[in-house]
Amino acid sequence: MHSQLPKIEPMMGSLFVQRAFFVAATLALLSLALTAAGHFFGHAISLGGHTEDATPREIVIGNNVLELPANMIRFARQRRDGVADRVYLYLRWPEMLGYRPEFLADFNGSQSEKRLLFLTFEPKATSEDMSGRYGPIYSTLTQAPGVKEPSGLTVQKFRTDSGFIDEELLIAPEQEGRAPFVARCLDQVSSKDSLASCQRDIFVGDDLQVTYRFPREMLADWQNLDRQVRAFAGARLKGPK
């Protein structure tokens, strides 16, 4: 699958345009990662690596210390104390719990109702989170005004020359002084067989980014979903918040 770099029209001066171009180009490349992840998560993910062990692990990323139960950490090699570049988690939603035997079907992706969240804690990759990137970046790459869904979110198609393949942007306007909710999703057809067809990133702690991936069906309760992820991330930080 090949992707064209996005074409961005002049907005607020050459320096801004140059920066916006490189950010958009990077995001377009990350679009390929979302597509690949969507296909990957469309299959059973059990590799025999689940654990019931809920022992807290202290993981240091940059200036942040995270306390995470082992059964929330996806990969066995990361279930240890110490310094890491990033850490990958999986949780059952809406309980926000790690693996338990009674959740086996959910964690193997064999339930008809999708309930898994995939979270990645890592250093910030951009100066703005996904909400902050909407105005300078995504709004120039999508077709406004879009179509409003019953959930209150508006679906905007990416332009054909944007480099975002088989993806859509779902947004909610800024409310009560809070930044707009923005998520990228595989389109309806591509999302059907995927466990995690949408993604959104937020900033927490000290220059820390949380990217969370989730099934498109969860967007019906997007406000609660985003609130729970933010609360979860904040509660797991032992360092600066």
Q: What would the pLDDT profile of 222-231 be if each residue is shown by its tens digit? A: 999 999 999 9
pLDDT at 235: 97
d(CA 174, CA 106): 33
d(CA 196, CA 114): 9
Q: Look up residue 74 and give its DSSP letter.
A: S
Of all residues in the chain, what percent carry a pLDDT higher than 90? Answer: 69
Condensed to tens digits (0 to 9), the pLDDT of residues 101-129 reads 999 999 998 888 999 999 999 999 999 99
d(CA 131, CA 181): 6
What's the domain count of the chain?
1
Most confident of 20-24, 30-34, 79-83, 159-163: 79-83
**Mean of all residue pLDDT scores within the chain:** 84
pLDDT at 179: 84
Banded model confidence at residue 209, pLDDT cuts 50, 70, 90: very high
d(CA 161, CA 232): 37
pLDDT at 134: 94
Indicate whether 4 pLDDT > 50: no
pLDDT at 43: 39
**Structure tokens that stand for 241 in this block:** 């918040």
Q: Domain range holding 118? A: 1-241
Indicate whether 137 pLDDT > 80: yes
**CA distance to 86, 184, 232, per residue, from 62 (Å):** 9, 27, 19
pLDDT at 29: 52
pTM for this predicted structure:
0.80
Task: Look up residue 130 and give its amino acid.
Answer: M
Please give the residue that has the higher pLDDT: either 10 or 53. Answer: 53
**Long-range contacts made by residues 102-106, C-beta under 8 angstroms, separation at least 24?**
104/50
Q: What is the mean pLDDT of residues 160-175?
A: 90
Instruction: Look at residue 231 and give its three-state secondary structure.
Output: helix
Residue ranges of E strands in 93-149: 116-123, 142-148
Element (H, E) at 209: strand 208-214
Distance of CA 27 to the CA centre of its chain: 13
Q: What are phi and psi of 110, to 5 degrees?
A: -105, 5
Banded model confidence at residue 175, pLDDT cuts 50, 70, 90: confident
Of all residues in the chain, what percent carry a pLDDT higher than 70? Answer: 79
